[in-house]
Amino acid sequence: MAIIGFIGLGIMGRPMAKNLIKAGYKLIVYDKFAKYDDLVSLGAERAVSSKDVASKSEIIITMLPNSPHVKEAILGAGGVMEGLKPGSIVVDMSSIAPEASQEIGAALSAKKSVLLDAPVSGGEPKAIDGTLSIMAGGDKAAFEKVKPILEKMGASVILVGSLGAGNVTKLANQIIVALNIAAVSEAFVLSAKAGVNPHAVFDAIKGGLAGSTVMNAKVPMMLEGNLKPGFRIELHIKDLQNALDTAHKVGAPAPLTASVMEILQAVQADGMDANDHSAIVRFYEKLAKIELWK
């Protein structure tokens, strides 16, 4: 089995790394900020830097918050590039700007190595149970080599195009998720304000055309007042900013994305940036002067 390096062991990266260890892979792990003694206790080797990870691995996975963090881990001082061996494959599973993926990929190509961008969807619950949706971009041969590894973390692993296509797909995913959460927030606050029990509304419509994975996952949280993050507001703001930047660069209209971005900004301004993105409902509750969970 290939030796796998894993950089970024936060809410998503930690359970993903655990699933690889459970599958029998030898891991070398590193995170600049998070503690990961639990992974070491499961058999992972502790690295001292991203460079150290790369020098001891054939395949390196990164799972970090945004483009600057990925660039620092790969291209920065003490980064992956300094320890990279020719023929290595770097799989960036972060959600970053597509242009950043292409820039990093060009730098790795000069070192005779390959970058795949392979962001994920599903949040912490699906990271834990290994059923993430993984959308990849990059070289097909490299993808086929790492696909069995990715399948230990995801139920769906799809190559969608060339380098950067994975992150374009993730941006599309994040637009749909954000708009869906906003739509159900608007609808359920309307129901409650009109005097109809939102629990009954949920039971009545979840099996119909309006039903969705987002509704089934987020509405119960809204009805319970549970804002524990599976995916934080601040990260969804980051993703929608990347989506808007990309839309502007390619000339694609994104008025609904811009509207939901303003809602997210308002929720963040109310101090909920570390809450789950289902906290979008709080924007509607505040205006309607009603709370679904009471």
Residue positions annotated with a catalytic role:
170
Task: Give the closest residue to 292 by CA, choosing from 231, 233, 221.
Answer: 221
Phi, psi of 44 (to 5 degrees): -70, 150
Using an 8 Å Cβ cutoff, are 108 and 90 in contact?
Answer: yes
C-alpha 69/C-alpha 36 separation (Å) is 18
C-alpha dihedral sign at 96, 100, 106, 107: negative
What count of residues does the chain have? 294
Residue 227 · residue 272 · CB < 8 Å:
yes
Calpha distance 186→214 (Å, rounded)? 14
Number of Cβ within a 10 Å radius of residue 13? 24
